[in-house]
Chains A and B, each alone.
Chain A
């Protein structure tokens, strides 16, 4: 299994600013992901955080808006840039333990409110 922590757990930000969310896994994992969950909705994958290379973004998400870093096998950051109220969501970090058929674990989420 994997225990995932995220910082901050919540934040209230002003429009136009940026916020960086940190994700720490208690063990080395092959793959890490970032998801967004808008109010009352399901989870949508933002990107796969690749260690040592650029993240792989899903349709509708771009690097300029959501830059991601993954400097090693246990840590990743997601930045929400130039925020607007539409970015108010829960952002969740996730890690895959084992390849392919492995279990995917999630962090507690970062609840972001943009005013």
Chain B
């Protein structure tokens, strides 16, 4: 079964606005990773945050992790039309196997 659940399922914004996507998960994790997928293509790794980290930045991306609430958020600032894609969170369970379990994803549309 899916470990993570993203919300919203779909998000439509205007260029220049910020986009926030949330991810919740069920078990203790080793790390959480965010990916982007453009229209049925392969996944692009965006950022990895470890269970002992609370926030990470990469360019226009900001990821937070709250292990007490078992949730993470991905913020894209000053969005661009090229950010239009599906975004997935994926978790690696602490003490478990090495496999990565994916959430259902958020489909982001950035309108020019």
A residues at B contact (CB < 8 Å): 4, 31, 33, 41-45, 48, 58, 90, 92, 94, 96, 99-101, 103-109, 111
Contact = CB atoms under 8 A, between A and B. Distances in A.
A48 B99 contact: yes
Contact of B35 (A41, A48, A90, A106): A106
A105 B36 CA distance: 12
Contact of B43 (A100, A106, A111): A106
Given A4-B42, A42-B102, 8 more contacts: A58-B99, A96-B98, A100-B92, A103-B45, A104-B45, A105-B45, A108-B41, A111-B40
A87 B3 CA distance: 23
Interface string B3-47: 000000000000000000000000000110101000011111100
Interface residues of B, number: 25
Contacts of B90: 43, 104
Main secondary structure of the interface of A (DSSP, over half): strand
Nearest first, the 5 closest Cβ-Cβ pairs linking A and B are: A108-B42, A106-B43, A43-B102, A109-B42, A42-B104
Nearest to A6: B42
